[in-house]
Structure 1
Amino acid sequence: MSTTSRSYGGVPVEQRRARRRAALLDAALEIIGSTGFAKLTVSGLCAQAKLSERYYYESYTDLGTVFSELFDRIVDEIGQAVVEAFVTTDADIRAKTRAAIAAAVDLIADDPRKARIVTVEAQLNPALLMRRAEVMRSFADIMMAACAAEVGAELVENAGDRAEFAAIHLLGGLWETTNSWLSGMLTISRHELIERSTDQFLLTAEHLVGVSLG
């Protein structure tokens, strides 16, 4: 029997390895989110995860990869929360847009560790700058697909590359505005942040497709 197919205590090796990897990412979330990436060490990470260092080297070769994978995990959480909020809100497009924006803002604002990682630490890490641009483009594609589903694909297609430009512009603006709000530079309530952001998204969408979205 191959090593990868064995199980210990009824748990397959690959599943145990995935659990250890998740534990290391949870530990990285706590360390980076609380004290910054500069404070992350292999020994500290393993101590936080309650794992020996050999399990770290089982999955990773450097701490930058840990940070990148953690960033992706948080971004995936945001994406899933946004899509779920949009598709499960049974109302008009304003309510759906507001729910999607609120889901993103709430996920970050309710966990200061995640907020620090995506709004501060990721900005300081050169390796994640390109990844952040890729994430923006991916979210823009989701946003355009959602808009097309609501107003019709033809209207979005007629907007051409202006639709993609607008989506990336709006998402970048929401990212930076949320950063300013989290840092205390933008002194408005969470409710106001979400409502004003919703207004901006809908005003831009209306301008592009030429249809009132309420």
Structure 2
Amino acid sequence: MATTSRSYGGIPIEQRRARRRAALLDAALEIIGTSGFAKLTVTGLCTQAKLSERYYYESFSDLDTVFSELFDRIVDEIGRAVVTAFMAPAPDIRAKTRAAIAAAIDLIADDPRKARIATVEAQLHPALLTRRAEVMRSFANIMMAVCAEEIGADIVETAGTQAEFAATHLLGGLWETTNSWLSGTLPISRETLITNSTTQFLLTATHRTGIPLP
């Protein structure tokens, strides 16, 4: 097959670039997730990804951008897992809520690299402070949207700003509680963490909506 500026070996240039970018982010996951952002260098990143440095500069302007995009990738993965779990068939809202919380906790707990990046390194990196706040607001909006679909949009709208406050407060609490559990300062089982978090979410939802939830 002939090679053109748009294709090599039958693979379009955009797809090859996307693969190289993904390989660099995978390499960043390994380096930051095991050794911390302070150990991330362009040379080390390219060596880990088995790519020349020119491909790094093809995709990224600096290492902060690498970290920010890696953080976003992990957050997007968590968001998809949570929504998928919540929207799956379940007997009641408790089961749905529990499945969503378990999906988030399992995802980062099962990969210590993602756990370190999401709960430790992201808090230490100044460039991600604003992004973390944006992510929390985004997750709060997702949480309100799925709740609206489950219990009724009118009920969520009636709660007004209190609904957004409650969602943000609960998610922030879950984030920090999970961080404490992962670090070992909260000595409970994963099952207890998920169960207690589910109960806390439902208690708050009952209080704000006035609807008794199981």
| TM-score bracket for this pair, using the shorter chain length | over 0.9
Matched residues, number: 212
Residues in 2 aligned to 1:158 and 1:206: alpha-carbon distance in whole angstroms: 13
- Give the residue type in structure 1 aligned to 2:193: L
TM-score when scaled to structure 1?
Answer: 0.97
Match of 1:201 in 2: 201
Match of 1:36 in 2: 36
Residues in 2 aligned to 1:153 and 1:125: alpha-carbon distance in whole angstroms: 37
Deviations along 1:130-182, one digit per CA (max 9) or x if unpaired, are: 10000000000010111111111111111110000000000000000000000
Match of 1:133 in 2: 133
Contact 1:136 1:168 in 2 (8 A): yes
Match of 2:210 in 1: 210
Contact 1:89 1:99 in 2 (8 A): no
- Give the residue type in structure 1 aligned to 2:21: R
SS at match of 2:61: coil
Once the two structures are overlaid, the 10-residue window that deviates more, 151-160 or 187-196, is: 151-160
What are structure 2's unaligned runs of at least 5 residues?
Answer: none
Structure 1: 4+ residue segments shifted above 2 A: none
Residues in 1 aligned to 2:116 and 2:59: alpha-carbon distance in whole angstroms: 25
Are the structure 2 counterparts of residues 6 and 157 from structure 1 closer, same or farther at C-alpha, using a change threshold of 3 Å? same
What are structure 1's unaligned runs of at least 5 residues?
Answer: none
Residues in 1 aligned to 2:172 and 2:86: alpha-carbon distance in whole angstroms: 19
**Identity percentage over the alignment?**
80
Contact 1:4 1:14 in 2 (8 A): no
SS at match of 2:213: coil
SS at match of 2:91: coil
Contact 1:6 1:13 in 2 (8 A): yes
TM-score when scaled to structure 2?
Answer: 0.97
Are the structure 2 counterparts of residues 120 and 210 from structure 1 closer, same or farther at C-alpha, using a change threshold of 3 Å? same
Match of 1:13 in 2: 13
Deviations along 1:75-129, one digit per CA (max 9) or x if unpaired, are: 0000000000000132200000000000000000000000000111000011101
CA RMSD of aligned residues (A): 1.2
